[in-house]
Structure 1
């Protein structure tokens, strides 16, 4: 069974990552501002489908791999922590471009919007590393079925990501206008999100170190 601390950890990481600028957010915001909320929601459907592809593929492969070589969890933990630190820097560094900048985009059909959302997520290195390196850190081999743990933790990440992205899609126009008038607020948001990701990276790196006799991954 999944520990509450592991679930909270995944939710925290998912929240920090979904609120930081990335391909998914940029695509959804550009579509919502340039083509309307309906286009943004259809695009979000494609992004959600991409999450499901990663969830199924990663869990089926990792369940077998971790059962055979549990030591790989340490390497994955370190890789995930380093990636979060890199993401923190790229989020907070000076000169970042706002994802809420209004851009001209061509109007596409619902089918194309969905496929583009799916492709954007599948080709997003941020999500790939999340499923390959970050979420597995919270799987504990002593807590039962690895596949079930991966499904629960991945499902929690999808719920957070879709919920936050839906809110962004619905509010994209208003938020774009707000930040356009208040550039200092945008800088503050980037710094805050970068700081959060940095703290999460350090916390994961430290809490993921198994104690003597503990064969599990980070999970509390």
Structure 2
């Protein structure tokens, strides 16, 4: 892995997105273990896009407006659902000063994977991103891209996990403030709403 690749990965990963928002929100809602599970699940949601890009399946999405629009609006709908559920303090993200119950592992994993799996821009991103750091004409280019993709996922998990643990470290202070929790719940909901809007207006 070159330093250029590492730096590019970090710049991309540190741009706030649904995965990071979800990991931080779950750490505050359910504790550091829940935050780490959410970080892992969000990272695993990258796998379908990585494989699609590496094996050329994303070409279909790039050339088929129908396929792209279908996946895109499914993602938009799910982000809006999360925003609504967060405002209601229901569903997978319960942000109350005293949460009714810690979300189950299955629910946290399912929501985390769905968040990134339903973002078609990730497939197109990998198709444009990976070939810049590998000789696509080489016999082992597929293996190289798998390795680079794996490194990207590892860095993604580490960054999400760090943010989740940092959020948990101040969780006790934050959850003791009902006013802050109301503000934070609305902020998370608005973040999901804005990400949904950004995805909705994105082009192939």
TM bucket (normalised to shorter chain) is 0.5 to 0.7
Q: Work out the CA distance in 1 between the residues paired with 2:199 and 2:7.
A: 19
Gap runs ≥5 in structure 2? 135-140
Report how many residues are paired: 181
Tell me if 1:86 matches 2:77: yes
Structure 1 alignment gaps of length 5 or more: 33-39, 107-115, 210-220
* Alignment correspondent of 1:103: 99
TM-score w.r.t. length of structure 2: 0.59
1:70 Cα offset (Å): 2.2
The equivalent residue for 1:193 is 191
Structure 1 position 148, deviation (Å): 4.2
Corresponding residue to 1:127 among 92, 110, 113: 113
User: Distance between the aligned counterparts of 2:88 and 2:189, measured in 1?
Assistant: 13
Question: Cα distance, 1:44 vs. partner?
Answer: 4.2
Query: How has the CA–CA distance of structure 1 residues 152 and 200 changed in structure 2, closer, same or farther, with 3 Å as cutoff?
Result: farther
- Alpha carbons of structure 1 residues 52 and 46: separation in structure 2 relative to 1, 3 Å: same
SS in 1 for 2:59: coil
Matches within 5 A, 1:114-193: 117=105, 119-124=106-111, 126-128=112-114, 130-131=116-117, 133-140=120-127, 142-143=131-132, 144=134, 145=141, 146-178=145-177, 180-182=178-180, 185-186=183-184, 188-190=186-188, 192-193=190-191
In the alignment, what sits opposite 2:18? 17
TM-score scaled to structure 1, two decimals?
A: 0.55
- Cα distance in 2 between the residues matched to 1:2 and 1:160: 16
Q: CA deviation at 1:96?
A: 1.6
Q: Deviation per CA, 1:15-34, whole angstroms, max 9, x where unpaired?
A: 331455x5x666544443xx
Separation in structure 2 between the aligned mates of residue 3 and residue 77 of structure 1, nearest angstrom: 29
Distance 1:197 1:182 in 2: 22
